[in-house]
Amino acid sequence: MTHQLAALLQEIIDVESVSGNERALADLVERHLAAQPHLTVFRDGDCLVARTERGLPERVVIAGHLDTVPVLDNLPSRYLQTPEGDVVWGRGACDMKGGVAVMLTLAAELAEPNRDLTWIFYDHEEVEAAKNGLGRLAGNRPDLIEADFAILMEPTSATIEGGCQGTIRAELRTTGTAAHSARAWMGHNAIHDLAPALNVLAGYVSEEIEVEGLTFREGLNAVGVSGGVATNMIPPAATLTVNYRYAPDKTPDEALARLADWFDGYDLAITDVSPAARPGLDRPAAQAFVAAVGGEASAKYGWTDVARFSELGVPAVNFGPGDPSYAHRADEFCPVADLDTCAAGLRSFLTSSPESEPTHD
């Protein structure tokens, strides 16, 4: 199985699929899925959905995206033996073609799972939310996403990460008056007006917030600043871009209200809002999954598409091969051991008998 998973991962990596160019990989995935008589396959653009229809009382969605960030001299793939273990190297190995390889393998293998399964392979995850293939599918065919539980195979080093942070990006804009820098008193410096906001950011202390037993750490940071016309001119305008990562104890509106309080008096333009997702680990299917995989769940730092499932009322966790700190790097790779661990965990969850799972009052 180790060799098969690694070989399949290399095959998938070598089909370049930078966002907007997923067609060839979607075609390959469709061929794999269409060859399985136990699956009903649907296609929405470059998003593939494959379902079992056994009439079982529970349905689980397992999802992963096909696209990658741009290539940086990291194709074709390579199989490398390292002191820490064998790895598959190449663009998308970590984020998240390792997860796609596990999904394709188990979609073919699990003809009689203990829960009905929906496998979703979607496009345009690494770009703006408006293009996201999972979001498009939710709009076009919401019935295909309905489930009792969802697993998103984002890289987590083969451990379970529950929920995700929400994120807000905002621009703080100031307006001044242009003047020659030799006669600065005749103008008004818009960049200097950012000082109070920068003081708020410098004095911010990250909050740790527990949600359903998992600890989420919030963050408030400046991520961009712009202003100025010439080096001998008082700047008439300036913009500070701020990113707030908030815990899933807050709605987007509550997070926006906090941001407005922190930067009261500023012209605040919100450029992006994505909701957080609660872990949902109190649900029976989620607890059965944690029991099958073993170990302890932790909080997901960052935003993932589990939030889309959460908005639809489907509890979801992140669970996939690869160290997320290597995502998008030129040297990204996926440990072969992570492929095996994820496949074994999902296989245990989806084939165990009900008698072997924990009971819930």
Q: What is the mean pLDDT of the chain?
A: 94
Catalytic residue, candidates 95, 116, 123, 125: 125
Q: What is the mean pLDDT of residues 84-92?
A: 97
Name 94's Cβ contacts closer than 8 Å, sequence gap at least 6.
155, 321, 322, 323, 324, 326, 327, 329, 332, 333, 334
Lowest-confidence segment of 117-126, 152-161, 230-239, 274-283 by average pLDDT: 274-283
Task: Assign 3-class secondary structure to 267-318.
Answer: EEEEEEEECCECCCCCCHHHHHHHHHHCCCCEECCCCCCHHHHHHCCCCEEE
pLDDT band at 354 (very low <50, low <70, confident <90, very high): low
Domains of the chain: 2-163+277-356 (3.40.630.10), 169-274 (3.30.70.360)
**Can you give the pLDDT at residue 39?**
98
Q: What is the pTM of this model?
A: 0.86
Do 133 and 45 form a contact (C-beta atoms < 8 A)? yes
CA dihedral sign of residues 282, 283, 289, 292? positive
Q: Is 86 helix (H, G, I), strand (E, B) or coil?
A: strand
Q: What is the mean pLDDT of residues 124-132?
A: 91
As to burial, measured by CB atoms within 10 angstroms (0-12 exposed, 13-18 middle, 19+ buried), residue 188 is: middle
**Alpha helices, H only, 65-213:** 98-109, 133-140, 195-203
From CA 113, how far away is CA 159, in angstroms rounded?
A: 22
**Can you give the pLDDT at residue 357?**
53
Q: What is the mean pLDDT of residues 229-249?
A: 97
**Can you give the pLDDT at residue 93?**
98
pLDDT tens digits, one per residue of 60-72: 999 999 999 999 9
**Can you give the pLDDT at residue 255?**
97
Q: Is 138 helix (H, G, I), strand (E, B) or coil?
A: helix
Do 12 and 19 form a contact (C-beta atoms < 8 A)? no
| pLDDT greater than 80 at residue 2 | no
Q: Is 262 helix (H, G, I), strand (E, B) or coil?
A: helix
**Can you give the pLDDT at residue 258?**
97
Q: What is the mean pLDDT of residues 41-69?
A: 97
Q: What is the mean pLDDT of residues 218-238?
A: 97
169 forms bridges with which residues in the sheet?
243, 272
Residue 154 is given by DSSP the state -
User: Quick one: which H or E segment has residue 347?
Assistant: helix 336-351
Name 175's Cβ contacts closer than 8 Å, sequence gap at least 6.
190, 236, 237, 267
From CA 183, how far away is CA 230, in angstroms rounded?
A: 14
Do 22 and 15 form a contact (C-beta atoms < 8 A)? no
The greatest distance separating any two alpha carbons of the chain, rounded to the nearest whole angstrom, comes to 82
Name 183's Cβ contacts closer than 8 Å, sequence gap at least 6.
none
Q: Is 88 helix (H, G, I), strand (E, B) or coil?
A: strand
Quick one: what percent of the chain has pLDDT higher than 70?
A: 97
**Can you give the pLDDT at residue 1?**
53
Q: What is the mean pLDDT of residues 132-142?
A: 95
**Can you give the pLDDT at residue 295?**
81
| pLDDT greater than 70 at residue 317 | yes
| pLDDT greater than 60 at residue 216 | yes
Catalytic residue, candidates 44, 67, 161, 218: 67
Active site residue 143: no
From CA 237, how far away is CA 289, in angstroms rounded?
A: 53
Active site residue 212: no
